[in-house]
Chains A and B, each alone.
Chain A
Amino acid sequence: MKETATYTEAELIAGCVRGDRNAQRQLYERYASLMYPVCVRYLGREDAKDVLQDGFLTVFDKIGTYKGEGSFEGWMRKIFVNACLMRIRKSDALRFTEDIVESPELGGVEEYGVLEQIGSREILDLIAQLPTGLRSAFNLFALEGCSHAEVAKALGMTEQSSRSQVSRARSLLQKKIKELYNGKK
């Protein structure tokens, strides 16, 4: 059996396609720490653990469909994002999300330096603290690069609602970042 370090990504994928449990284990160990933050961004640390497990099961189930187009990490990320959205839909957290009239920015982060002073994991946790609807829309639009039409379709809302949610989420996040930054000073 091949040692972990000597597996290339292609070999790992081929092993997983064959159902090689060792390859699956290595793939999990290599990517779990990269996919976990994606889950945390959408669900918070509490639910992220469950989705991390479900996401890997889906990855192993669908890995045969990966054709090598684009990065494998990006392909995996899409699966985990979808798994997170499924969990959110299942919990129906978006059902009672009301359209929010776009509100003015609650005081932006004027300086680039402010974000530089805050660690990535702290930013992750701040995003995870956002209300579910705002968090989902903001993740998809601002961090995954989806259009408002795509966000609306994914979350079952109107484009106008998507714009409102993203704007509101951005404002809240900026406020939280500022508070954290001020607290550190």
Chain B
Amino acid sequence: MERNEFDKLLRDRLEGVSLPAPDVWEGISAGLARRHRRVILRRFATGAVAAAAGLAAALLVFRGPQPGRQAEAPVRFAHAVQPVAPQEPSAAPVRDIAPIAEQIAAFTKNQVTAQATAQKAAESAAAGTEKADATVPADAVSPVTDSPADSTTPAEVTSPAGTQPVATPDNPADTREPGQLTQNDLPADFWREDSPDSRTHTSQISILSNLTTVASDDDLIYKAAPMHSSSQTGNRAASAVEPVSGSPKFFSPLSLGLQLTLPLTDRFSVSSGLTYTYLVSQYDMLVDKVRYDGAYNQLHYLGIPVSFSWHFVQTPSFGFYASAGGAVEKCIAQRYVFASNTLREKVGGLQWSARAGLGAEYWFVPRMGLYFDPSLVYYFDNSQPLSIRTQQPLQARFEVGLRFKL
């Protein structure tokens, strides 16, 4: 019989042959459920990242009128002089309004807007000039008083009976010219577009990445890349892969995340969110007892960090704080690449870690700031696959990111 004939005959005999298959549906069903959960998790992570990106973009693009100093001050002054109307008699002398507005204009450095305001005030005053004793309504020069805590009330500015009377010839102790307005006459927080306390009283969202110390051979090196991490002992349970002692290399971890910060007190806040970390290691390994040199291991982690921060310095533009907390991470995928083959293995358990560090933040626009958060992180031994986290549990980490006030 020719070879081809034999092969053909064999093919014909085996064509459509069936064998009673063992019942593996239960395993298939469980596998499908696992994959479904993975898909849900992936969609959640994608949605979270997309939502954060959208939120960040929205904050940048659609912030609306800037609450900054230059824009806000004229609004206040305009409000202050707006009520001045000749037909509304009041207790304050009208002649004080124009000089006050001029001084306010000088304070704000916004000459155009403030001068226009002053001009408007002067015109309003001129309209009532005939009445030498005309008075300004009680709220005519009122600074914007959003809260009763403001130190200056309309009565204080305009009424001689106030605690901070406007300079008049009747008050010789006051050296100011009549109608002169000093900064003391304004609310304490008048020149701040936001008070320091409001920083910690405002929820924030952060987009972050980490730089992590990376061990290569016996040396520690620092590589500029977003964070990823690793651990050493491997998925000890039922792994077909066994690391072989040698000179492992750990590549720069890649980590991205989102965090939401909520204020607890004036200076105390709590943060939590979602982080994704990608770890790559290269080492010699046994796969089903066969050695492969220089094979790669790729790990994907999703984690939930929680940290508490104490803001010990807080200015309108800068903030310094100490923070401590921890994180729990789940390896959602592991892949070995050896020769031209790939092998996926599940990783059980969770990776726990604790961290403590100091941080600094700089708010370069009212609602957006940069922060830098160096810290020490300790990764507990939780039977995770070999990586920098298991090789070097204590790591210095440098987190940088953007923060947005909500």
Q: Are A53 and B31 in contact (CB under 8 A)?
A: yes
The chain A residue sitting closest to B31, CB to CB, is A57
Does A179 sit at the interface, judged by CB under 8 A? Answer: no
Does A19 sit at the interface, judged by CB under 8 A? Answer: yes
Q: Which residue, A33, A34, A53, has most C-beta atoms of chain B within 10 A? A: A53
Does B13 sit at the interface, judged by CB under 8 A? Answer: yes
**Across-interface contacts of A90 in B (CB, < 8 A):** 240, 287-288, 341, 343
Does A17 sit at the interface, judged by CB under 8 A? Answer: no
**Across-interface contacts of A91 in B (CB, < 8 A):** 288
Q: Are A170 and B3 in contact (CB under 8 A)?
A: yes
Q: Are B32 and A57 in contact (CB under 8 A)?
A: yes
**Across-interface contacts of B1 in A (CB, < 8 A):** 108-112
Q: A170 contacts which of B6, B21, B288, B343 (Cβ < 8 Å)?
A: B6
Pick from B22-30, B130-138, B145-153, B195-203 the stretch touching chain A.
B22-30
Does B19 sit at the interface, judged by CB under 8 A? Answer: yes
How many residues from B make CB contacts under 8 Å with A? 34
> Shortest CB–CB separation between residue B256 and chain A, in angstroms?
27
> Shortest CB–CB separation between residue A15 and chain B, in angstroms?
13
Q: Are A143 and B14 in contact (CB under 8 A)?
A: yes
Whether A115 touches B24, Cβ cut-off 8 Å, given contacts A33-B19, A34-B16, A109-B1, is no
A-B contact count (CB 8 A): 100
Does B223 sit at the interface, judged by CB under 8 A? Answer: no
Q: Are B24 and A56 in contact (CB under 8 A)?
A: yes
Q: Are A33 and B21 in contact (CB under 8 A)?
A: yes
**Across-interface contacts of B13 in A (CB, < 8 A):** 115, 120, 123
> Shortest CB–CB separation between residue B18 and chain A, in angstroms?
4
Report Cα–Cα, A13/B240, bound state, in Å: 34
Tell me the residues in window 22-58 of chain B with beta carbons closer than 8 Å to chain A beta carbons: 22, 24-25, 27-29, 31-32, 35-36
> Shortest CB–CB separation between residue B250 and chain A, in angstroms?
25
Whether A112 touches B29, Cβ cut-off 8 Å, given contacts A33-B19, A33-B20, A52-B24, is no
> Shortest CB–CB separation between residue B105 and chain A, in angstroms?
68
Q: Are B288 and A92 in contact (CB under 8 A)?
A: yes
Q: A121 contacts which of B3, B17, B27, B36 (Cβ < 8 Å)?
A: B17
The chain A residue sitting closest to B23, CB to CB, is A32
Report Cα–Cα, A143/B17, bound state, in Å: 13
The chain B residue sitting closest to A56, CB to CB, is B28
Q: Are A57 and B35 in contact (CB under 8 A)?
A: yes
**Across-interface contacts of B10 in A (CB, < 8 A):** 115, 123, 142-143, 173
Q: Are A115 and B9 in contact (CB under 8 A)?
A: yes
> Shortest CB–CB separation between residue B30 and chain A, in angstroms?
9
Q: B18 contacts which of A33, A145, A174 (Cβ < 8 Å)?
A: A33
**Across-interface contacts of B36 in A (CB, < 8 A):** 19
The chain B residue sitting closest to A110, CB to CB, is B1
> Shortest CB–CB separation between residue B35 and chain A, in angstroms?
7
Q: Are A170 and B24 in contact (CB under 8 A)?
A: no
Q: Are B22 and A49 in contact (CB under 8 A)?
A: yes
**Across-interface contacts of A49 in B (CB, < 8 A):** 22, 24
Whether A37 touches B18, Cβ cut-off 8 Å, given contacts A123-B10, A143-B10, A156-B340, is yes
**Across-interface contacts of A61 in B (CB, < 8 A):** 35
Report Cα–Cα, A37/B1, bound state, in Å: 26
**Across-interface contacts of B29 in A (CB, < 8 A):** 21, 25
**Across-interface contacts of A111 in B (CB, < 8 A):** 1
Per-residue 0/1 for B279-321: is the Cβ within 8 Å of any A Cβ (1 yes, 0 no)?
A: 0000000011110000000000000000000000000000000
Q: Are B31 and A124 in contact (CB under 8 A)?
A: no
> Shortest CB–CB separation between residue A30 and chain B, in angstroms?
11
Tell me the residues in window 87-109 of chain A with beta carbons closer than 8 Å to chain B beta carbons: 89-92, 95, 108-109
**Across-interface contacts of A34 in B (CB, < 8 A):** 16, 18
**Across-interface contacts of A29 in B (CB, < 8 A):** 25
Per-residue 0/1 for A32-76: is the Cβ within 8 Å of any B Cβ (1 yes, 0 no)?
A: 111111001100000001001100110011000000000000000
The chain B residue sitting closest to A112, CB to CB, is B9
Report Cα–Cα, A99/B191, bound state, in Å: 86
Does A24 sit at the interface, judged by CB under 8 A? Answer: yes
Report Cα–Cα, A36/B25, bound state, in Å: 13
> Shortest CB–CB separation between residue B229 and chain A, in angstroms?
27
> Shortest CB–CB separation between residue B104 and chain A, in angstroms?
67
The chain A residue sitting closest to B14, CB to CB, is A120
**Across-interface contacts of B16 in A (CB, < 8 A):** 34
Does B266 sit at the interface, judged by CB under 8 A? Answer: no
The chain A residue sitting closest to B26, CB to CB, is A53
Report Cα–Cα, A120/B12, bound state, in Å: 10
Q: Are B341 and A36 in contact (CB under 8 A)?
A: no
Does B63 sit at the interface, judged by CB under 8 A? Answer: no
Q: A53 contacts which of B20, B24, B289 (Cβ < 8 Å)?
A: B24
**Across-interface contacts of B3 in A (CB, < 8 A):** 167, 170
Report Cα–Cα, A49/B14, bound state, in Å: 19
**Across-interface contacts of A181 in B (CB, < 8 A):** none
Whether A142 touches B11, Cβ cut-off 8 Å, given contacts A108-B6, A170-B6, is yes
Q: Which residues of B contact A (CB under 8 A)?
A: 1, 3, 6-7, 9-11, 13-14, 16-22, 24-25, 27-29, 31-32, 35-36, 240, 287-290, 339-341, 343
Q: List 5 A-B contacts (CB under 8 A).
A: A21-B29, A25-B25, A28-B28, A89-B341, A90-B288
Closest 8 CB pairs of A and B: A36-B21, A32-B21, A92-B290, A142-B7, A33-B18, A53-B24, A120-B17, A53-B27
Apart from A53-B28, A57-B32, A143-B10, 6 more pairs, CB < 8 Å: A37-B14, A52-B22, A61-B35, A108-B1, A111-B1, A143-B7
